[in-house]
Amino acid sequence: MKIAVIGGAGLMGPLIVRDLSESSGVEEILVADYQGEKAKKLATSFNDSRIKGTFVDAFDIDKTASLIEDYDAVINSAIYYVNLSIMKACLKAGCHYNDLGGMFHTTLKQLEFFDNFKRAGLTAVLGIGSAPGTTNVLARYAYDRLDKVEAVRVSSAGVDLTDTKDIDVFKPPYSIRTIMEEFSDEAVEFIDGEYKSLPALSGLEEIAYPEPIGRCLCFHTLHSEPATIPNSFRDKGVREVTWKLGLPTKFVEGAKFLASIGFASKTPIKIQNIEVTPLDVLAAVVDKQVKDKLERVELKPNIIRARHAQVIGEKNGKEVEYVLDCVSGVHSRWGVHCATQVPPSIAAQMQAGGMIKEPGVWAPEQVIDPEYFFKELAKREMRVQVMTKEELTT
């Protein structure tokens, strides 16, 4: 199978490429990125003739289609702004497609391509990263075992136990651009059978995660799980689907302050006759300070994160509650945390290998077999644990 990774030289791409390179059956990997030289350098660093690097402008649909037309599947690891363009390119090129999420609203627009992909005999899997992605599949595991589903509550949290040697650095756990949107845009949740808009960071709640994470304060943010799970689980009567995020308190305080003074804005402002976008400035400054403070410092990462799903429903006349967690630390060989990068690699191989047979545009909970997926995660040192609680409802 031949797989292309668009955004392959970015924050998530390199580890996706690494996972693909260590997977049997992957014959060729394309690292495509707007930073073309960086993509070529990354590809060369693997010292693997199967891996090639090149430039791509994902907004140029025709040229992107020409670039990927010989590939079986495309993993879009770029920021969600390009999701629609890359989907169109995949339709032109005849490639399967998956991505890391669409921040709810873009996900809804992507679902409108269902008939296009179905006619083309292609599959698209939306939001198959860590969260969304693994969270959706955790919920699907419980859905399969219940007669009725009342509520699905998914969340994610973690701890960073890395010895930072007293270096004070503002280091985002993922894209600061995405975090700023999560901290400023209204969250959309499915509550009492309908969609409701809620303030960002509202709904503060302590959620219990496996140790060493423990109890973590979580809050609503805009996310893709509520965009798809209500429809996926509607046949079992689901009335609630919510998402909450937990991050370290110190980081939350800093990010909240930055969002409150306008750094989440994508509207250009003029400074000394030069137009700049606050979010672009923030992203550049954050990246620079991380690089400047840590470039010559050897740190041994020690990060543990959990994707969490609480699913409440009914089985054989009893109320049943499933609590599922996917826990991951730093990969023993790769030396980094890889919970977001592994799932799209697994999904692309499933797509290219014909394991996802029904063409169309799908959410992970609709087409990813949980037990197979969990076994593949375990091979990458990500473990899933399941707990249940039952009560008579008669």
* 329-350 tens-digit pLDDT: 999 999 999 999 999 999 999 9
Give the pLDDT of residue 297.
86
Higher-pLDDT residue of 299, 60: 60
Sign of CA dihedral 226, 80, 348, 47: negative
pLDDT band at 392 (very low <50, low <70, confident <90, very high): low
Stretch(es) of the chain classified as CATH 3.30.360.10: 134-248+298-335+382-387
Q: What tens digit of pLDDT does each residue of 20-72 get?
A: 999 999 999 999 999 999 999 999 999 999 999 999 999 999 999 999 999 99
pLDDT band at 296 (very low <50, low <70, confident <90, very high): confident
Higher-pLDDT residue of 21, 174: 21
Helix, strand, coil percent values for the chain (each to nearest 5): 35, 30, 35
Which CA distances in Å does 334 have to 43, 327, 383, 384?
A: 16, 17, 17, 20
Average pLDDT over residues 101-111: 98
For the chain, count helices (H), then strands (E): 14, 18
How long, in residues, is the chain?
394
Give the pLDDT of residue 390.
80
Which CA distances in Å does 75 have to 12, 22, 98, 107, 351?
A: 11, 16, 5, 16, 11
Average pLDDT over residues 115-137: 98
* Percent over 70 (pLDDT), the chain: 99
* 22 CB neighbour count, 10 Å cutoff: 13
pLDDT band at 299 (very low <50, low <70, confident <90, very high): confident
203 phi-psi bin (left φ>0, alpha ψ -120 to 50, beta other)? left
Query: 192 phi and psi, to 5 degrees?
Result: 55, 40
Is residue 384 within 8 Å of residue 140, measured between CB atoms?
A: no
- In words, the CATH class of domain 134-248+298-335+382-387 is alpha beta
pLDDT band at 394 (very low <50, low <70, confident <90, very high): very low
For 194, the token pair is 């309908």
237 phi-psi bin (left φ>0, alpha ψ -120 to 50, beta other)? left
Is residue 45 within 8 Å of residue 78, measured between CB atoms?
A: no
Please confirm whether the linkage preceding 226 is cis (ω < 30° from 0): no
Is residue 324 within 8 Å of residue 156, measured between CB atoms?
A: no
Whether residue 164 has pLDDT greater than 90: no
- Please tell me the number of Cα atoms within 13 Å of 45 on its side-chain side: 12
For 227, the token pair is 């965009």
Mean pLDDT of the chain: 96
Strand ranges (DSSP E) for the chain?
A: 2-6, 28-33, 51-55, 73-76, 96-99, 123-125, 148-160, 187-191, 194-198, 205-208, 215-220, 240-245, 269-271, 274-276, 303-315, 318-328, 360-362, 382-392
Whether residue 74 has pLDDT greater than 50: yes
Q: What tens digit of pLDDT does each residue of 178-209 get?
A: 999 999 999 999 999 999 999 999 999 999 99
Quote the pTM value.
0.95
Which residues are paired to 315 by β-bridges?
318
* 394 CB neighbour count, 10 Å cutoff: 4
Three-state secondary structure call for residue 188: strand
Is residue 16 within 8 Å of residue 5, measured between CB atoms?
A: yes
Please confirm whether the linkage preceding 132 is cis (ω < 30° from 0): yes
Q: What tens digit of pLDDT does each residue of 239-272 get?
A: 999 999 999 999 999 999 999 999 999 999 999 9
Query: 33 phi and psi, to 5 degrees?
Result: -155, 155
Average pLDDT over residues 118-136: 98
Whether residue 393 has pLDDT greater than 70: no
CATH topology of domain 2-129+339-379: Rossmann fold (3.40.50)
Instruction: Please return the burial class of 32, using the count of CB atoms within 10 Å of its CB with bins 0-12, 13-18 and 19+.
Output: buried
Stretch(es) of the chain classified as CATH 3.40.50.720: 2-129+339-379
Average pLDDT over residues 311-317: 97
- Please tell me the number of Cα atoms within 13 Å of 309 on its side-chain side: 32
Whether residue 165 has pLDDT greater than 90: no
